[in-house]
Amino acid sequence: MKIENLTLSFWNKIVLKDINTEIKTWEFAFVIGKSGSWKTSFIRSIIWDLKPKKGEIILNDENSLYYKKNDKFLSNYRKKIWVVFQDYKLLESKTVYENVAFWMEVCWYSNTEIKHRVPNILKQVGLLLKKDKSIFEISGWEKQRVTIARALVNEPDLIIWDEPTGNLDPETADTIMELFEDLNKLWKTIIIATHDKNLVDKYKKRVITFKDKEIFSDLNPWIYNL
C-alpha cells in the first residue's frame, strides 16, 4: 500500500502530517517512535479506524482506501488484515478454542470449516492441548498465542501488532519473533510497532521512525535510531 500525504488529527489538532511511505507486499517492518509519537494512530488509519484529515492510502489493486467506499468493500478489506493491540481483547468468558472460533463465526464461516481449521491453527501455535482451558487458566505468553491464532484463522494478508513483546522475557520474545518471521516467509506482510531496541537491532528489518508528527527516518541499514 502507498500512503500519500496522510494527515491525521484529533479535535482539529494535527497529530501526524504529510506522511508519505509505502508498505510493500510481503514486507516486514518495525514502526518506532517515542510515547506520544502517534504510532498507534498511524496503524488505526491503515485498518480504516481513523479517517485522515487529508491524504490517502492506495491499496495494491490501486483502489483508494478512504473515499467512496461501501460496507461490502470495507468488510472484505478488513478480512485481509489483522491488528492486535496491547490489551489483546480476548473473551474471558470463553475457552481458548471458543476465542479462536468466534472470529470465524462473525465472518460467517460454516461449522464444518470452523471445526476443521481451528484445531489446525491451535496446533500451529502450540495450544492444541490447552484448547478447553479458560482464558483465566493460561499464562500471558499463551494469551499472546491465542491472539496469533485468531489472526491466522482468517488467513489475512497483513498482520499488525502493537507492542507484541512489551511484557515478555527475552527468550519468549525471540519465540514470538521467530513465529512472525515464519509467517512472513509464508507471504504475510508484517508491521510491528515497538519500543524494544534490542528486538529491532537484533532482527534487522526495515525501521520506520516517527518523530515531531512526521516520518523522521526510514532506515536501511535497519537499526533503532531514537
Q: Copy the grid coordinates of residue 112.
A: 464444518
Residues 76, 179: one domain? yes
Structural domain includes residue 95? yes
CA distances to 63, 64, 65, 73 from 68, in Å: 10, 8, 9, 10
Per-residue pLDDT of 198-212, as tens digits, reads 888 888 899 999 988
User: What span, in angstroms and rounded, lies between the C-alpha atoms of 140 and 154?
Assistant: 23
Predicted TM-score (pTM) of this structure: 0.85
Residue 23 sits in the same domain as residue 38: yes
Number of domains in the chain: 2
Question: Do 54 and 65 belong to one domain?
Answer: yes
Reported as a single tens digit per residue, the pLDDT across 25-78 is 999 999 998 877 888 889 889 888 888 899 989 888 777 888 766 777 877 787
Q: With respect to residue 45, please indicate whether it lies within any of the assigned structural domains.
A: yes
Give the range of the structural domain holding residue 28, as residue numbers without chain letter. Answer: 1-80+156-226
> In this structure, are 76 and 163 located in the same domain?
yes
- On whether both 71 and 33 belong to a single domain, the answer is yes
> Sign of torsion, CA 180 35 18 70?
positive
Q: Considering 124, 155, 186, which residue would you say is the last residue of a domain?
A: 155
Alpha-carbon torsion 126, 130, 135, 140, what sign? negative
> Which domain CATH number covers 189?
3.40.50.300
Instruction: Please give the pLDDT value at position 68.
Output: 63
| Residue 186 φ/ψ, nearest 5 degrees | -95, 25
- 148-159 average pLDDT score: 85
Give the bridge partners for 58, in sequence order.
Answer: 2, 64
Looking at the fold, whether 201 and 190 belong to one and the same domain comes out as: yes
